Amino acid sequence: MFHPRRTLRALLPLVAGLTLTALPAPAATAATALTNAGFESGGTGAATPAGWSESGDTAASYTEAGGRDGGHRLAHWSSSAYRVETYQQLTGLAAGDYRLTAWVRSGGGQNAAYLALRDCGGAEQRTGLPVSDSGWLRIVVPVTVSGGRCTVAVVSDAKAGNWINVDDLTFERGTAGLGVKGADISSLPKSEDRGGVYRTASGTAGDPLAILRSSGMNYARVKVWVNPADGYNDKAHVLALAKRVKARGMKLLVDFHYSDAWADPGKQTKPAAWAGHGYEQLKKDVHDHTHDVLNALKAQGTTADMVQVGNEINGGMLWNEGSTSNWSQLAGLLNSGYAAVKAVSPSTSVALHLAEGGDLDGTRWWFDQAVAHGVRFDVIGLSYYGYWHGTLHDVQTTLDDTAARYGRPVYVAETAYPFRLDSEDALENIIDSESELVPGYPATPQTRWMNDVASIVEAVPGGRGLGVFYWEATWTARPGNGWDPADPSSGNGWENQALFDYDDRALPAMEWFRHR
């Protein structure tokens, strides 16, 4: 990704160690299913919903009209600061894995607002409520039950006027979590060669991959250009970086741009060496280039675990021959890349990657065409930048629909968020003003954005939400490592969205890698 500059009540995710007023001991009645899970019993204004208990500032918890699928919902709100918990204990549960699912909305701004599963036989599990003041979002909380019981809780620690809504909870057998908690680190070799330094949160200089790995990162994404002007992001650099990635016990995604520079929805320029080639030759170019890079990776013991055939190919690739105005040719190019991947490693997953993750209609159109033209693929990746690509409700709708419609796992191939708005170098940042931010998500080093995006992907039905890649975690501001590979003086408009601060220290936002 490189782009030019382009009355309710609710909340944000969790604060560790939040304590509320001690709860009274629940009655030991056998109840293996949630009672009044849709908050319909009692109607509007029920101070304590039937089947539920409350603790803390109980006047801030009640039912009201406007349910997601029914007449009513649970609300937390007060005109003054409050702490409240609405909870229900289940008993008589067989030992095993369970999953709480709930539909939520939140206006944001709370100290903490989350769903919790506690007293289930192990550590308490939480999922923060993402900010969404209109569309309902589905989130999940997994837990392993032993001892036969588990308490389901809705918790708010809120400022005056903050609100949340919760509705339609289910507690059933199942698990949740993300297999991919990754980051794109393509800029790293050039940064280090230009003097880039990376430090732990305490200030100790170290290997950035070790720092990221120790924070929980388990997958690295690396782009490949064909003959880049600065010599970086080429085969040799990908091979060297892959060794470092695998040495840290992480998996590897190789992102083929099929260009000498950035490929995205606005530009899919053929490499200079392929510029005069016709369609049949381009198919061979795609196959041979893909096979060459991947075979070299395999030969050195760093086989790619996933491959993207093309980068943000909403309009196709290798224009004009491979544009979406000629789907039969685009399909041939994509299948040529697919065949090359599988020839090297049949177990390597092949992903197709679009931008505009909140665009349901556009995503449907593209993949309907791909399927109709016999394009082969294993996984679907979508870029999703909340300041450009719609709401969290939009991206959840698109991810859910895409996974179900095409029967493939899905992942967020790119996302990022600012931790500050000022620039470290002379180039204006891509996002540099409050007005550009996603409502409810300020630019802070403790950004909650990534946890909430991860929660949306985790909740994709059928376990088809693979995970998330943070875009360019290590692209800090270094002279000579700007956006234009042909211009050493070009700057970096993304350094305020890296995972290292302007003092080169690891940011608290890196903690999102510890998402389940």
Q: How far apart are the first and last CA of the chain?
A: 26
- Looking at residue 502, its amino acid is Y
Q: Output the six-digit token pair for 316.
A: 């196709």
Other CB atoms within 10 Å distance of the CB of residue 374? 11
- Separation in Å, CA 184 to CA 107, 396, 475: 31, 22, 9
Q: Which of 381, 386, 322, 324 is nearest to 355 (CA)?
A: 381
Is 312 among the catalytic positions? yes
DSSP string, 342-395: HHH-TTSEEEEEES-TT-HHHHHHHHHHHHHTT---SEEEEE--TTTS--HHHH
Cα 123 off chain centre by: 25
According to DSSP H, which parts of 154-226 are helical? 188-193, 208-214
E-state strands within 406-475? 410-415, 465-470
Active-site residue (options: 54, 64, 414, 458):
414
Q: Nearest-CA neighbor of 355 among 397, 313, 317, 403?
A: 313
* β-pairing verdict for 163-173 and 180-184: unpaired
| Catalytic status, residue 414 | yes
Q: In Å, what is the CA distance from 434 to each residue of 132, 140, 420, 443?
A: 18, 30, 10, 8
Catalytic residue chosen out of the listed positions 85, 312, 321, 495 = 312
Please check whether residue 128 is in contact with residue 452, taking contact to mean a CB–CB distance below 8 angstroms.
Answer: yes
How far is it, in rounded angstroms, from Cα 305 to Cα 307? 7
Catalytic site positions:
312, 414
